[in-house]
Amino acid sequence: MNPLDTPIEFLKGVGPARSELMRTEMGVRTFGDLLHYYPFRHIDRSKFYKISEINPEANMVQVKGKFKRIDSIGAKRAVRMVGQFVDDEGGQLEVAWFRSLTWIKQSIKTETEYVLFGKPGEYKGKIQMTHPEIELAESFNQPLKGGLEGVYSTTEKLKARRLDSRAIRKLMETLLPHVMNQINESLPGYIRKRQELLPRSKALKSIHFPSNSEELCAAQRTLKFEELFYMQMRLMNIKAKRNKEIPGQVFGAVGDHFNTFYKSHLPFQLTEAQKRVIKEIRKDTASGIQMNRLLQGDVGSGKTVVALLCALIAIDNGFQAAIMAPTEILAQQHYESIFDLLSEMHINVALLTGSSKTAYRKKLHANLENGQIHILIGTHALLEDKVKFHNLGFVVIDEQHRFGVAQRSKLWRKNKIPPHVLVMTATPIPRTLAMTVYGDLDVSVIDELPPGRKPIKTVHMRDSNRLKVFGFMREEIKKGRQVYVVYPLIEESEAFDYKDLMDGYESIVRAFPIPEYQVSIVHGKMKPEDKDFEMKRFAEAKTQIMVATTVIEVGVNVPNASVMVIESAERFGLSQLHQLRGRVGRGAEQSFCILMTGNKLSNEGRKRISTMCETNDGFRISEVDLKLRGPGDLMGTQQSGLIDFNIADLVKDTEILEKSREEATYIFDHDPELKHEQLALVKTHLTLLMKRKPNWGRIS
C-alpha cells in the first residue's frame, strides 16, 4: 500500500479515538489527507513583543518573561488560576487558566523564564491572555526549525482531545519523514520552470515548515497553481469528453422563417454584439455536437431577441424550441412579446405555466407531441413528465441562477439526442467564476446596449429625505413617466417585511391620491391572476406607480418606467440591486434609480450603495460582489461545492488562475489525449482526480 493511504490512526500519537475525531472534525482519514491539511496562516515565532506594546485587539503575540506569582482564585466550580507575567522591561500581563489547573499548579514555576504565545484580550482594564501556549524559554531558545510557524485550524472538540494547532503541527513533524519520498511530481517540468514553481515535495514540506517567508510564498504559489491547474484540466476534460460522446441535432441551414422575420418583422437593427452571438450559436448548432452555451448580457442588452432568432433557425430545420423562465410573470411577458413579434408569421407559440388550466393543458400536450406547437414558453411547468415534445431541438433557459442543476439536466431527458442548450443570464459572472463554475460551458457575451440608451443615474437618499423623493416622483410622473417602488421581502421575517410593504403602499397612496394618481401593488402573496392584472395595468400605463416586492426583479419590461425607488436598499445584495435597477432605463428617456436607506449603514452596506452609485457596469459590480461576499455565497450553496478549494482563493488568486488556465488550454489545444510523454504524469494525476470526485460536469 502507498504510505499516503495509510489510515491516520497508525500515525504515532494518533490512535483510534483521535483518528475518529480527525476524520469527523478535520476530514482527515489517511496520511495523505493530513499532508494536505495546510496551515491557514503562519506566524513569525522569531519575534517577541514587548508587553507594553501589546494592544488587546492584536492577533496572536509572543512574549518572553517570568511569572511573579500564580494564584488560585474563586471557589469550587468557579475556581481559576491567574498568573502575573512580567517581561524584561517590567511590562505586566495577566494570564488566566480555567482548565488543567492541577497541571498548571504542578508545572509552572515562578522565576523561570517562559515563552508565552496567545491572543491577548482585555479583562477589567488589564491585558490578559487565557490559556496561552507555554514553553520553557530554555528549550525554546534552541535553534528554531524555521522563523515561521504554521497555524492549523482546529475545533473545540479537537482541542478537548488536546489536538490544538500545536499538536497538529507535532503530528505533521512525525508524518513528514514517512511520506516525503512518496510524493510524486504532479506538474511537468516545463510548466514548473515556466511558472517558477517548486518541486511538489519541496512545496508540501515548506507549506508546513517554511524556513522563511519567500519559501512560504513559493510553496503557496506552487500548491495553488497545482489546484487551479487541475480544476481547469478537469473541466476541459469533461468538455472534451462531452463533445466526443454527446451528439447534437444538426441545424444545417437557415431557412424561410429566420429570413422572413429578419427582413420583414424585426423592429430594429441588431447590435454588433447580438449579431456576433447569433453567429456563435449558429456555428455550434450546425456542428453535430450538442451546444452548451452561456449567454451573458447585462440587463436590457437584448438577449430575448437573440434567443428568438435562434429558435427560428431550429424551426427552419424541423425542430421545436422551448424557452423557460423563472417566474410566471416573466414567462407571460416573453410569451406576449414573442407572440407579437411573430404575429404575421405562421408559427405557433404556446404558453405553459403552473396556472394553465387542465383542459388547455390537455390540448397543449397533444399539439406539442404532434409537432403543431413550434415554440413553447413557460416556467418549471415545462419540466413535468407529461410535457413531451415531438422533436425538441433548442432550449433556452432564461435567468438560470434560479434554476437548479437537477432541473436543467431534466430537460436533457426529453429527447434521445439532447437539444442544444442556451443558458441566459443578466447576472454577470466575474471572470474567475466563469472560468471555474462554468468552465465547461462555452460563453458568449453581449457587451453592448442597443443604441440610444442613456445610462441610469443612481443616487443615495436617506429616509429622512422621503418628501424630496416624492416630489421628484411627481415631476417625473407629470412628464408621463412611471415609477417602481420596491420593498425587500426576505423570507425569514416575512410577516415583518410584509407590514413594511403595506405601510409603504399606504403612505404612497396618501401622497399620490386618486384620481390624479393610480397606484398598483404586486407581491408574492397575491393570486397569480391578481398579480397579472396589476402588472398589465402598469404595463399599459393605466397606473403610474408600481409598489412591489422583488417579484419584479427579473426580466419585467416596461420601457416607459423610468424611476426605480428601492426601499431599505441596504438590505439587498449587489446583484439584486443591479437587477432591480435594470427594470428602468429601457426606453429612450433619462432614467433614475434612487436607493433609500436609514442613517446607519454597515461598512459592507455602504460599499454596496456606493458601488451602485458609481457604476452601471454589471461586470464591475459582480467583481465587487465577489470580493464582498466570497465565491460560495455568490453561487449559492448548490454550486459552491465546485469552488471548494483547499488552498486557492478565487478572489485573491486571479493571476495564478489565469496562468494555470493558459497552461491547461495550451495542453488541450495541442494534445487533448495527453499522449506526449511529458504529460504522462498529468494524465495519471487527472485520471485519479476524475475518479475521486463525482462527475459534476453536466451542470447544464
Residue 268 near ligand ADP by CB under 6 A = yes
Helices (H), 112-263: 137-140, 156-160, 165-179, 189-194, 200-208, 213-245, 256-260
Q: Strands (DSSP E) along 57-91, which ranges?
A: 61-73, 80-86
Question: Is residue 303 a contact point for ligand ADP (CB under 6 A)?
Answer: yes
Q: Which is nearer to ligand ADP, 453 or 537 (CB)?
A: 453
Q: What DSSP character marks residue 53?
A: G
Judged by beta carbon, residue 293 or residue 659, the one nearer Mg ion is: 293
Near ligand ADP by CB under 6 A: residue from 62, 206, 232, 304: 304
Residue 309 vs 609, nearer CB to ligand ADP? 309
299 binds ligand ADP, rule: CB under 6 A: yes
Instruction: Tell me the C-alpha distance between 96 and 118, whole Å.
Output: 12
CB-nearer residue toward Mg ion: 299 or 686 = 299
Helices (H), 370-446: 405-412, 431-436
Task: Determine the Cα–Cα distance for residues 203 and 123; give it in Å rounded to an integer.
Answer: 42
Query: To the nearest whole angstrom, how small is the minimum distance from the Cβ of residue 305 to ligand ADP?
Result: 5
Give the ranges where 286-380 is alpha helix by DSSP (H). 303-316, 328-341, 358-369
CA dist 374 to 69, 184, 315, 339, 381, Å?
Answer: 88, 56, 7, 12, 17
Nearest to 303 by CA among 340, 334, 326: 334
**Subset of residues 398 to 437 that bind ligand ADP, contact rule: CB under 6 A:** 426
Q: What is the dihedral of CA 615, 617, 620, 624, to 10 degrees?
A: 60
Residue 270: CB minimum distance to ligand ADP, A? 5
- 192 vs 334 by CB, closer to ligand ADP: 334
User: Does residue number 294 form part of the binding site for ligand ADP (CB under 6 A)?
Assistant: no
- Which one of 65, 146, 188, 300 is in contact with ligand ADP (CB under 6 A)? 300
Q: Which of 302, 555, 582, 585 binds Mg ion (CB under 5 A)?
A: 555
Cα dihedral sign, 626-628-629-634: negative
How many other C-beta atoms lie within 10 A of the C-beta of residue 607? 16
- Characterise 401 by phi-psi region: left (phi > 0), alpha (psi -120 to 50), beta (else): alpha
Of 496, 492, 525, 521, the closest CA to residue 507 belongs to 521
Number of residues near Mg ion (by CB under 5 A): 1
Q: Check residue 305 for interaction with ligand ADP (CB under 6 A).
A: yes
Sheet holding 349-352, edge to edge: 349-352, 375-378, 320-324, 392-398, 420-425, 292-297, 442-446
| Closest approach of ligand ADP to the CB of residue 199, in Å | 49
Question: How many whole angstroms separate alpha carbon 48 and alpha carbon 250?
Answer: 71
Q: Which residue, 426 or 609, is less far from ligand ADP as judged by CB?
A: 426
| DSSP code, position 28 | -
Q: Which position's Cβ is nearest ligand ADP? A: 302
Interaction between residue 374 and ligand ADP (CB under 6 A): no
Which residue of 248, 297, 504, 618 would you call a contact of ligand ADP, by CB under 6 A?
297
Nearest residue to 436 (alpha-carbon basis) of 230, 141, 171, 695:
230
- Give the nearest distance from C-beta 341 to ligand ADP in angstroms: 8
Between residue 551 and residue 570, which ones bind ligand ADP under the rule CB under 6 A? 557, 559
The site map against ligand ADP for 432-471 (x = CB under 6 A) is ------------------x---------------------
- 581 binding ligand ADP? (CB under 6 A): no
> Which of 1-9, 14-22, 181-189, 553-561 is the region at the interface with Mg ion (rule: CB under 5 A)?
553-561
User: In angstroms, what is the minimal distance from the CB of 530 to ligand ADP?
Assistant: 24
Q: Which does 450 bind (CB under 5 to 8 A by kind): Mg ion, ligand ADP, none?
A: ligand ADP
Q: What strand order describes the sheet that includes 120-123?
A: 120-123, 126-130, 92-97, 80-86, 61-73, 113-118, 133-136
Q: Minimal distance in Å, beta carbon 296 to Mg ion?
A: 12
Which residue lies nearer to ligand ADP by CB, 16 or 451?
451
| 191 closest CA partner among 679, 671, 645 | 679
Of the residues 270, 434, 461, 690, which one makes contact with ligand ADP according to CB under 6 A: 270
Binding site for ligand ADP (CB under 6 A): 268-271, 274, 297, 299-305, 426, 450, 557, 559, 586
Residues that bind Mg ion (CB under 5 A): 555
